[in-house]
Chain A
Amino acid sequence: MTQWEAVIGLEVHTELKTATKLFCGCPNAFGFEPNTSVCPVCLGLPGSLPVLNAKAVELAIRVGSALSSRVQASQFHRKNYFYPDMPKDYQISQYDVPVNAGGAVVLRSGKVVGIVRAHLEEDTGKLVHKGGDGRIGGADYSLIDYNRSGVPLLEIVSEPDISSAEEAKEYVSELRAILVATGASDGRMEEGSLRVDANVSVRPVGSTELRTRVEIKNVNSLRSLGRAIGYEVERQISEYESGGSILQQTRHFDEASGKTLPLRAKEEANDYRYFPEPDLPPIAPLQAEIDRIVGELPLLPAGRRVRLFGLMPGASSDQVEVAVTEEVWPYVVAGIEIGVAPELVLARAANELAALVGNAGFLTPERFAEVVALEERFSPSQVKLLLKEAVSFDGTVDELVAKVGLSSSGAEDVRAMVGEVVEANPEEWRRFVAGDAKVAGFLLGQVMRKFGKAISGAQAKAALEELARGAAGL
């Protein structure tokens, strides 16, 4: 029986995080009242002209550099087709000379997925179908919101290097992390700022042929992407195995049934009649400009992993994955930079902190570092408590400690506190010094009962053992 493998290429559209749209001054924002963030340019009114937003080009170059693309002089083209959500009935996009050519994404597994191109284009408006079956063909009427029209998009096209649904998800989440790290996108799939189309075909294992591919449009979550590809691969395999063939088609993923379904009854060959956009001069970034942008690139997730495993070869990869995320990483860096043990930083960052970010209030990376550094003096549970309290506490770290009711205790103080307990329990102390380890628990219990708010168990144990060594040596 034939063994099959999937051949998958992904087209990821991401909205770029610019203040204004790609060709006009309208705010690039989500959630406005319909048709309020519009002007003659993004409505494509007769006579209006596009003027390129330099910030969008800079973000595109940042992403290209992060993907190791060749950043090049580029040009806009017009992609001509009629659709009601497209106010000019052509889309300004890039064609044979995109701003970024080539490149790669290295997945966590080490697999390399090639990038064909990452090019700039404008987004379309949004159709809302009302009444009937809610789809364009069967709705009673449709409304158009042009707020999204002209929002800058970067389309990142991968090589068909992806061979499973799982790998596709891994690719998208790695790409998403890169987009967020470079500041190009907020990466929110649910708000449509990241949209994925998948080109899927299958072939017998060992073959290098490329069979007819099916395009699955606009899958809006990682989970759906996995399900859609999984279904489509199985469908194609069973079609071939039953002697059938695959039509070149565009399909959409139906969340409810978990199936992909043809988008149109009849597939028309599209001829977009691309030609150079005469209203926009070519983009020719200077090498110095590209160098500046590359120089300003932050450490990317892959580099962050390398750094953490370099410091801690045995680190848990689950913890590392949390630590390299955009929200958590600045805390990790702050902790390591003030000299706290990396293992400690990683543990607190991946657990307690990860639960707090997004709503961290006064818990800045610097404050996180200060608090985690206290773990030399306080118990882990005390430090966790301090982290939680730090979110809503506006003051110095000493004031925070005082507020929580912990007093800062040096080794001297700890020895004095332990000494007090030892004096009060001479019999147990004698047995402990003589080597009866069982009474250690009792003595420490006494210490913690009396001084537990001020010192940690580890500190108490260390002081007790130190005192015992001193006594035995006498």
Chain B
Amino acid sequence: MTDGILTLDAGALSAAVRSGEVTAVEAVEAYLAQVAVQEPEVDAFLSLDADAAIAAAEAVDRARASGAALGPLAGVPVAFKDNLCTTAFPTTAASKILEGWVPPYNATVVDRVLAAGAIAIGKTNLDEFAMGSSTENSGYKITRNPHDLDRVPGGSSGGSAAVIASRMALLALGSDTGGSIRQPASLSGIVGLKPTYGRVSRYGLLAYASSLDQIGPMAATVKDAALMAEVIFGHDPMDATSLRAPIPALVNALMEGVTSFRVGLVSDLLEVASPAVASAVGRAAATLAQLGAKVETISIPELALGLPAYYVVAPAEASSNLARYDGVRYGFRGNGETAEEMMVASRSEGFGDEVKRRIMLGTYALSAGYYDAFYLRAQRVRSLVRTAFQEAYSRFDLLLSPTSPTTAFKIGERSEDPVEMYRSDVCTIPSNLSGDPAISVPFGDEDGLPIGVQLMGPALSEERLLRAAFALESARAEEGER
């Protein structure tokens, strides 16, 4: 059995560990062997702790031996994006300003995943403070796309995406502020779910843009993403924006199909996509129709306004969220004669260019005399997007679009042009602005580079999204078999 460990999905591996067919130590050792081979090429982890992973796996095996009931992720190797607080690993958000900082507490999601029996392998690379779409903005290193090492894995959760794509862990957590789970999932050929805002506690997530940030699962399959979603969903008293909605049985609902679903194919987002991506999305629409969904084209021109609104709201919140990194209490401290000089030095030397760019943008947008023209206007655009979505969801159960306009681009290709980079998120940003859930699922490729399609739905419609994504995934698998 141990030879086939890497072929098992999370549900199957966890079941095998619970039944004793595979020990957690065997599972973790198989994944650590994979890490030893892949990590030197992919460079996805910011911290790794093989000994701790083995020790945690031994604890799971001992618990089983003592007759304790094991959780739904027993023995499953996981990786956490490095903007999630962990007491067992440093937490840096890929920023030099937090080099070596070890939080005194775990993020709520981390606690939930570990309590379910998962084994933490390490922390994954990201664009510094989750600001970017390629993971090239990391203060530490560049992560490579396992499908083509000259290309980016997407971002900002590029490390988590690359870890799953190269099978160095079975499940990973990412965070998504403007597409940071879905876009790297698309570019790396995995599944990424951005849940409804408030579905997953943000407590312990290093904030980028608080009103947009949402943590979600990244996995090789829709079923694994659903399994992890069940573990991390649910109200948390430590997050005042956390929802009290009941958690649906997501895994069990996957097989229920898409018949009777009304699916809107968003023409405005198709137009921004490359021909290969647009054609993949078209095939996905056709597949859903074949499976019994009613597919129609819809134009939502307001979605185009999302990008500029996002690049005001997110930097504005970031300029405030990142103020605390001042060298006084933790992290990197620069030199200065006075407290003020020390703070200026710490921030000037500790932050990377993209972070500074967004702090400046956001500071400007909130400044006296500019607030109305920028921040307030962006908020009005945000409500336009929300209203447009509401209108669309009154007619459709789901919306279908590309996740990213293109497949993975070359390392360095867009890093000199921030605005071009910002455009990578044009399809994903609207769901963050509205707070609604969305998922990216692989559907085809272009010359070996994965293409993801995005399904969007109204608040709390994750079950529907996962069912439709599962239907697309299953259809692709059957196609492959033919």
Task: Enumerate chain A residues within 8 angstroms of B107, measured Cβ to Cβ.
Answer: 47
Task: Enumerate chain A residues within 8 angstroms of B317, measured Cβ to Cβ.
Answer: 275, 278
Bound Cα distance A370, B313 (Å): 67
Bound Cα distance A46, B330 (Å): 10
Contact code string A255-286 (vs B, CB < 8 Å = 1, else 0)? 00000000000000001011100111100000
B interface SS class: loop
Number of A residues contacting the other chain (C-beta, 8 Å)? 31
For B211, the closest partner residue in chain A by CB is A278
Task: Enumerate chain B residues within 8 angstroms of A274, measured Cβ to Cβ.
Answer: 366
Task: Enumerate chain A residues within 8 angstroms of B205, measured Cβ to Cβ.
Answer: 47
Q: Contacting chain B: which of A77-85, A358-366, A409-417?
A: A77-85
Task: Enumerate chain A residues within 8 angstroms of B325, measured Cβ to Cβ.
Answer: 46
Give the residues from 80 to 98 in chain A that come closer than 8 angstroms, CB to CB, to chain B. 80, 82, 84, 87-90
Contact code string B203-216 (vs A, CB < 8 Å = 1, else 0)? 11111011100000
Q: Contacting chain B: which of A48-56, A105-113, A344-352?
A: A48-56
Contact present for B339 and A142 (CB under 8 Å) = yes
Q: Contacting chain A: which of B19-27, B141-149, B238-246?
A: B238-246
Q: B366: which of A47, A49, A80, A88 is its contact (CB, 8 Å)?
A: A80
Contact code string B260-286 (vs A, CB < 8 Å = 1, else 0)? 000000000000000000000000000
B85 in contact (CB, < 8 A): yes
A43 in contact (CB, < 8 A): yes
Contact present for B203 and A46 (CB under 8 Å) = no
For A146, the closest partner residue in chain B by CB is B329
Task: Enumerate chain B residues within 8 angstroms of A230, measured Cβ to Cβ.
Answer: none
Interface size bucket, B side?
35 or more
Known: A49-B203, A275-B316, A278-B210. A44 touches B240 (CB 8 A): no
A45 in contact (CB, < 8 A): yes
Task: Enumerate chain A residues within 8 angstroms of B176, measured Cβ to Cβ.
Answer: none
A132 in contact (CB, < 8 A): no
Give the residues from 317 to 338 in chain B that come closer than 8 angstroms, CB to CB, to chain A. 317, 319-320, 323-326, 328-330, 338
Bound Cα distance A272, B432 (Å): 27
Q: A273: which of B98, B338, B363 is its contact (CB, 8 Å)?
A: B363
Task: Enumerate chain A residues within 8 angstroms of B237, measured Cβ to Cβ.
Answer: 51
Contact present for B329 and A46 (CB under 8 Å) = no
Contact present for A281 and B104 (CB under 8 Å) = no
Task: Enumerate chain B residues within 8 angstroms of A435, measured Cβ to Cβ.
Answer: none
Task: Enumerate chain B residues within 8 angstroms of A82, measured Cβ to Cβ.
Answer: 323, 326, 340, 343
Known: A47-B203, A87-B329, A275-B320. A40 touches B105 (CB 8 A): yes
Contact present for B324 and A44 (CB under 8 Å) = yes
Known: A47-B103, A82-B343. A275 touches B238 (CB 8 A): no
For A144, the closest partner residue in chain B by CB is B328
Task: Enumerate chain B residues within 8 angstroms of A275, measured Cβ to Cβ.
Answer: 316-317, 320, 366, 371, 375
Contact present for B324 and A46 (CB under 8 Å) = yes
B65 in contact (CB, < 8 A): no
Task: Enumerate chain A residues within 8 angstroms of B124, measured Cβ to Cβ.
Answer: none
Known: A47-B85, A279-B210. A88 touches B324 (CB 8 A): yes
26 examples of A-B residue contacts, CB within 8 angstroms: A43-B329, A44-B324, A45-B104, A45-B330, A46-B98, A46-B324, A47-B206, A48-B203, A48-B204, A51-B237, A51-B239, A78-B320, A80-B320, A82-B323, A82-B326, A82-B340, A84-B328, A90-B323, A137-B338, A271-B367, A273-B319, A273-B368, A273-B371, A278-B210, A278-B317, A279-B207
Given A46-B207, A271-B367, 8 other A-B residues pairs in contact with their CB atoms under 8 A? A45-B104, A49-B240, A50-B240, A88-B324, A137-B338, A273-B319, A273-B363, A275-B320
The 3 closest A-B pairs by CB, nearest first: A89-B323, A278-B211, A273-B366
